[in-house]
Every structure is written in structure tokens, then in C-alpha cells.
Structure 1
Amino acid sequence: MSDQSFFKRKWVQIGLAIGVVALGVIGSEVLVATAPTASRKPPEKVARLVTTEPVKAGDYTVSLLGYGVVEPEQQITLQARVSGTVQSIGPKFVPGASFKKGEVLVQLDNTDYRIELQTAQAALAQAQSTLTSELGNQVVAQSDFELLGLNVDERERALILRKPQLEAAKATVQSAQAGVERAKVNLERTILRAPFDGVVVSREASVGAQVSATTALGVLASSEAYWISVAVPQADLKWIKFPEGKQAGSTVCVSDASSREDGCHKGTVLNLQTSVQDNGRQAQVLVEVPRNNNKNLQPLLLAQYVKVRFDGIELRNVFKLAPSSVHDNTVWVNDNGELDIRPVNIAFRSAEYVLIDRGLNNGESIVTSNLGSPVNRMAIRTNEPPNNATTPAPAAVKP
């Protein structure tokens, strides 16, 4: 075969290959151009399902919670006022025991003080006898002076009539009487009685112990009422009523800090103390609780850690919401199927509830659901029937 025919056949093959490729490209463009196109539709808005709750304004008393330690209204250290030996101890002088005012707690040996009283009484009798004798001498001196008819000055007259001797005898009687009274008081002081109704906090006295006027025999606490110094944030003091004139302070409800009981011991606010706690810089409110004013509850104990709930000032025409329904000073309102993120004014906030005085209206429904990414005016829906839906009347119940 010649070279000319070889090259001719080669060029024919190349031309056929190029033609096939060109036809394929043209065909694919025609298919793309004539292919059907799908029309895009905007995504439908899906309303978020929420739960709602209608609100209604009312009058609510602000409630504050604080903590403190129970202390006695009065507490003293029992001390002997005379020296002596402890002869006996009263049955009520036991730590934790209750006693009444005037009960004997400690009896000292009174032998020396009885002898002292007898000695003082004898001295008084002697002084009174001397005074009686001197009064007799006064009569004799007066009679002699009148018989003699002496003309003397006032000083000489007093000496003749024995007035200095009479004054000395009277002074001796007065001193002896004071000695008797002192002896009686010392004898009485050998009996140590309870100065008020209370409980025994501690006892240091023992039978046979020698005590002096400075010896501490025990600690007594009054049981008429308890005092509690309650720590309260200074910003919350405006909600507490303090006594002023005839107006009493806020009432309080006191219970054990760890108790789950519903009942509590009732008390009142006495005053605001002049110092604050170093830790937290909280104010100290003094509260008084009468002893055992609720006999159905466990009585309060000294040094007991308690929680104190204050019934504070009443706020009128406010809305009471759960803290979970308030979001950074805003409330979510269901406004005809749209979410209205509405700013409100919080009058009072606690861990249990929030009181709102501006921003809401009676009858509005607030959203109580937890929305992850709330957007103002977003569509929302509820499972509740619309307001204009009619509810069928219940069937009559046959008697």
C-alpha cells in the first residue's frame, strides 16, 4: 500500500472521531436546554406550639425570707451575793429544765448568817435599853434644871439637859437597827431564787462547794419570749413594716430552717438594729416570738437556726407570675397568635414569684413555655380552643 493511501485513511478516521464528539456535545446541550424546570416555592411558616396562662391583677403582700439564730429575751449569770457553802440545789436547777419566778435554785449554809442576825438583834435590844434609860435621865435633868432656875446660854442648857447623850443613844439604836436589817438581808441572800420564768442554760454549782459573791453558779434564760436577729438584704428593708407609734411591726412566721412542716411560730418585728453583718453587709432585723405560741409544733430551742418569713407591705393591682415566666424584665404575651416580647416593670422579685405593676393588662395570656430562640412577632399556637368557640352545655343530670 502506498504512503498516500495510508495517510488518507488516517485523516478519515480522525474526521469521524471529531464528528462523533461534536454530535455528542450538541446533543447534550439540546437536552439541557429542553429539560423541564421545577418551580421553587417559599417554605411555609409553621407556628410554634406553646402553652399560655391568663393573668389577672390583684393585691398581694410581699413575702421575704431570712435566717437567724434563736436567742433568749433575757439571759443572766446566776451569782451568790454572799459567801458560803452550797448546802443544797433545787430540783429545777438542771440544764434544760424550766422554772418559775421565785423558785429556789440554790441554798447556801446559813448558820453564820443566823448567828449574825441574833447578834445584831441583841445589839439592837441593848441600844434600845440604853435609849430608854437616857430618856429617864432626860426627865430628871429637866426637873433639876427647872428647880435651880439657872440663867445659862443655849449651849450650857443643852449640856445640863443631857441632849448630847440622848442623841448618841438614838444614833446607837439606828445603827443597831441597820445592823439587824443587814443581817436579815444577808440571811435571805443565802437562798438564791429564780428572778423570772425561764430555763436553765448551764449549771456550775455543786453541793459542798465554797462560793463567794463573784462565783458564777449557772446561766439562766428567760422563757417569756425569744429574740431572733434576722439577716436581711438592705434593699429589702423597704418592704418591712417597723413599729412606729401605735402601728405594730410586720408579722413573721418562724420555723426550723430544715423543717418541711406547714405550721410556724408567729412573731412580730421589734426594730432595725444599728449594725450590719460583715459577711454580705446585710442588715439585722430584730424579731420577737412569744414562747410556745403554737403548742402543736415543736417548741423553739435556744441557739436553733431558723428561717423567718416576713409578711411585708401590700402591693395593690399587680400581677403575680412565676419567675420562669419572666425573662430579663420582659414577658412573652400571646398577641392573637403572635409572640409579643413585652418589657414590664418588676415591683418585687423573689425566688418564688414576681410581682409586676406595669406592662400587662387583665385577661392577657402569657406564654409559659420555654422557647429556645424567641423572635418578636413570631407565629405561635396553642392547643386551647379559641375564645369564640362555644362549649356545649352539660347534659342535665337526673335526680
Structure 2
Amino acid sequence: MKSILLKAGLPILILVVAAGAAQLIIASKKPPEQKEDDKKALLVDTLSASPQTVRFTVKAQGTVRPKVETDLISEVRGRVIEISPKFVNGGYFNKGDLLVRIEPADYQTALIAAKAEVARAKANLQEELARAKVAETDWKQFDLETAPELGLRKPQVAKEMANVAYAEAELEKANRDLERTMIRAPYDGMVYQKDVDLGQYLTVGAQIGIVYGTDVAEVRLPLSDNDLAYLELPFVMDRDSAVIPDVTLSAHIAGTKAEWSAQLRRSEKVIDEKTRLIYLVAEVDDPYGRNLANTDGYFPLKFGRFVQADIAGQRAENIYVFPRHVLRRGNQILLVDSENHLRLRDVEVLRTDGDSVYISAGIEDGEQVALTPISNPLDGMAVRTIPPSLPGPQGLESEPEQIAIANDGDTQE
């Protein structure tokens, strides 16, 4: 009986002893050291507001096309007997150069016949004039006051004079036809497309080729009404003005950025019904550099090339320029006051582009604008600032005049 009680009570005794030992250990353990939570304020980069003078630049793009394009058409019929070495796709030529020659034998014969006809008509006229003079003398012998015109052979003289005029007109036509057997360049240019070759028989109206003038190139630039608001108004309103906006065209060629100077010359004055855009036309003189004395480093502006265009626009003064990401919804920005507290400020935005925001009002010179993105800022929230290391984002404040890139989709109205 005692052994049974001993076996039953031993586990209970062990549990009691273990519980007591645990209580003793807990009671003898020192409490953890209490430390205050030292949470630092958010670190924020700032930029000092400084007004600037900016010149807006409207961006556009387009394809280079020749100002003058001509389809060469045969005005006479005949076989091609000569083609100039310049008359190949991409070949240059000068005004007056012979490009294609058509067999002239038939037209030379026609010219000889026309000359003979002129001589015959003039001889008939001289004969008729002599007859008229004889008739006039005869009528005077009858001592009549007035002689009939038929008696004086005036109708016959008029007929022969008409025959002379007709023969001379045919002679001029024969000369033109003979001249048209030689197709000459109408201006300085290049061959875009050659459609004939030696031995080919041409009919009147057959296409010989397509040529482009190389004196002037054009680029049609699509712009919106908002873009036009940042160009010089006298030009936009299509009035006579000495103000012609400059345009810089650019493209990457073989890994190198090439630029060409152009000028806006006209507006097409019609809004495209599909895109609701209006097209302005910029012109580039001597796009292929044919008149340059030194072409080293010059990239020809080839027809068909797609180019970007920067159009010089209006200037604006006292504008604050910041990276675009500082602008929040509702045209708000974050400022840091003198006590390092955040302040939400409503501003007036003149324009935005892909990189920058241009603020015209709502901010004062010298105020600190927070550049660090903050997801949920609170007005009055304490922050820490980073000492400025640069005078402005991407060196903006180092320039006396900033260039504002205008994109229609980013305009703030």
C-alpha cells in the first residue's frame, strides 16, 4: 500500500518542486533595462526657390521632304538614244543638264519642212502684194473715187498674210518639238526615280522619272492649339511679321546626333479633321550641303529622314523651375519652413514637360522646396534637411536663361 502511494505521489512532488524552483528563478531575475525610443525625423533633400527667365521650346517631329518635286514627262514620241550618267537614282544634276535624249531625226525633218513652208508663204504674200499694187494702179486710171476691196485684192492679201502667220507658228512648234527631244534638268536637284533606259520607245505623256530639288527641304510639323500659344503670336496669327521662329532639327545618324538649322516659313492654315492638329512648315536651305565649301563633319539632311524639331517660342520672366516630381495632385508642392516642418502649398503652374514643372505664382524667392518624394506627407510634420550640394536640379540655376520644353499633353491650364 505504501509503495502504491509512493508511486502516485512522487510525480506530484516533482511538479511542486519544479514549480517552486521556477518561481524562485523568475523572482530573482532582473527586469530588462527600459530605453526611450529615439525615432529620427525623415531626411529630406531641398532646393532653394529662385526665379528665372525661361524661353519655351515647342517640340514636334516630321519627315523631310523636298520643296520641289517633279515628274518628268515626255512631250514628244521617239526612241531614247542617250541617257546622262547623272540620270541614275540618287544622282545629282544642275539646272540645264541634259538628262535624256530622244531620237531627233523626224523632228529635224519637220523643222526643215516648216522653214520651207514659211518661205513659200512669204513668197506668195509678196506675189499677192505685187498684184494688189498693179490692181490699185489700174483702178486709178478709171478715175473712180473708191475702188472695191476685191478689186484691190485686199482679201487675197489678207489670206496670204494669214498663211505666213500660220507657217511661222508651225515653225515655232517644230523648233519646240525638236528642243523637247532633249530632256533637261529644270533646276538643281537629284534623281529620285528613273523610269526609262536606252532603246526604249516613248509616247507622248510617258513618264521618264521623278526628280527632287535640292535647294530647299521642308518638314511639316504637327502642333496643337496649346503648342501654338507658346510661339510668337504674329506668326501664329498668319500676319506679316519680321518675327520668324527658329527651328532646330535633330536626328541620330550612325550613333551621332546631327542637327540642322531651319525656319518656320508658313502655316497650312487647315486643321486636320482626324488629329485636330495644324501643320506648320519649316524650311532648310541646301539640305544636302551641295553649296558648302567645306563639308567636313556635315551630315546631309536626306529626304525621307524622320527628325525631331525644337521650335523657339516665347520668353517668360520670374518663373520657378523644379523637377516635375515635386508637383503633387491639385497643383501642390511641399515646402520646408525655417523650423524644419513640412508645409503643403498650392501653386500656379504655367507649364510642365517630361522633366520639369514651371511655376508662375504661389512661391517666394528663397523658400525651400522638398525634392524627396514623400508618400503621405502631413502639414507640419518634422523633417531633417540635407545640405544642398548643387545649385539646382541638373544645374538649372547656373544658366541665366532656361529652355522650357513644351509638350501638349503636359500643359497645365
Shorter-chain TM-score category?
0.7 to 0.9
Q: 1:272 to 1:174 in 2, by over 3 A?
A: closer
Q: 3-state SS of the aligned residue for 1:188? A: helix
Which residue does the alignment assign to 2:272?
276
AA matched with 2:310: R
Which residue does the alignment assign to 2:334?
332
CA contact (8 A) 2:100 2:184 kept: yes
CA distance in 1, matches of 2:40, 2:359: 32
Q: How many Å apart are 1:39 and its aligned residue?
A: 9.6
Q: Does 1:195 align with 2:198?
A: no
Q: How many Å apart are 1:44 and its aligned residue?
A: 5.5
CA distance in 1, matches of 2:332, 2:39: 25
CA contact (8 A) 2:258 2:299 kept: no
Q: 1:339 to 1:259 in 2, by over 3 A?
A: farther
TM (normalized to structure 1)? 0.80
Which is further off, 194-203 or 373-382?
A: 373-382
Equivalence map 1:117-128=2 (5 Å):
117-128=111-122
Which is further off, 90-99 or 177-186?
A: 90-99
Q: 1:261 to 1:360 in 2, by over 3 A?
A: farther
Q: How many Å apart are 1:178 and its aligned residue?
A: 0.8
Which residue does the alignment assign to 1:289?
284
Which is further off, 258-267 or 52-61?
A: 258-267
- What do the CA deviations read for 1:316-350 (whole angstroms, capped 9, x no partner)? 21112221332332222221111122121111111
CA distance in 2, matches of 1:134, 1:58: 92
CA distance in 1, matches of 2:256, 2:351: 26
Which residue does the alignment assign to 2:205?
214
Which residue does the alignment assign to 2:309?
308
Q: 1:56 to 1:276 in 2, by over 3 A?
A: same
Q: Does 1:164 align with 2:160?
A: no
CA contact (8 A) 1:50 1:369 kept: yes
Q: Does 1:248 align with 2:243?
A: yes
Q: How many Å apart are 1:203 and its aligned residue?
A: 0.6
Which is further off, 89-98 or 43-52?
A: 43-52
Q: Does 1:376 align with 2:379?
A: yes
- What do the CA deviations read for 1:135-190 (whole angstroms, capped 9, x no partner)? 22222222221123246xx5x62122221221111111111111111111111111
Which residue does the alignment assign to 1:106?
100
Q: 1:131 to 1:255 in 2, by over 3 A?
A: same
CA distance in 2, matches of 1:319, 1:291: 40
AA matched with 1:340: R
Q: 3-state SS of the aligned residue for 2:187? A: coil
CA distance in 1, matches of 2:353, 2:211: 39
- What do the CA deviations read for 1:211-231 (whole angstroms, capped 9, x no partner)? 122111111112121111223
CA contact (8 A) 1:257 1:307 kept: no
Q: 1:185 to 1:147 in 2, by over 3 A?
A: same
CA distance in 2, matches of 1:106, 1:353: 57
Q: How many Å apart are 1:258 and its aligned residue?
A: 7.1
- What do the CA deviations read for 1:349-370 (whole angstroms, capped 9, x no partner)? 1113221101122222222223
- What do the CA deviations read for 1:283-312 (whole angstroms, capped 9, x no partner)? 433222223379543111111111111112
Q: Does 1:181 align with 2:176?
A: no
CA distance in 2, matches of 1:356, 1:172: 83
Percent of matched pairs sharing the same residue: 26
- What do the CA deviations read for 1:45-65 (whole angstroms, capped 9, x no partner)? 632222222221121111222
Structure 2 gaps, min length 5: 1-19, 21-26, 389-413
Which residue does the alignment assign to 2:353?
350
CA distance in 2, matches of 1:120, 1:60: 73
CA distance in 2, matches of 1:259, 1:56: 40
Which residue does the alignment assign to 1:12?
none
CA contact (8 A) 1:257 1:305 kept: no
Q: 3-state SS of the aligned residue for 2:380? A: coil
Structure 1 gaps, min length 5: 1-23, 25-30, 386-399
CA distance in 1, matches of 2:121, 2:191: 46
Q: 3-state SS of the aligned residue for 2:262? A: strand
Which is further off, 168-177 or 43-52?
A: 43-52
CA contact (8 A) 2:69 2:212 kept: yes
- What do the CA deviations read for 1:65-87 (whole angstroms, capped 9, x no partner)? 22211111121211011111111
Q: 1:260 to 1:351 in 2, by over 3 A?
A: farther
Q: 1:192 to 1:169 in 2, by over 3 A?
A: same
Q: 1:212 to 1:227 in 2, by over 3 A?
A: same
Which residue does the alignment assign to 1:341?
344
Q: How many Å apart are 1:209 and its aligned residue?
A: 0.9
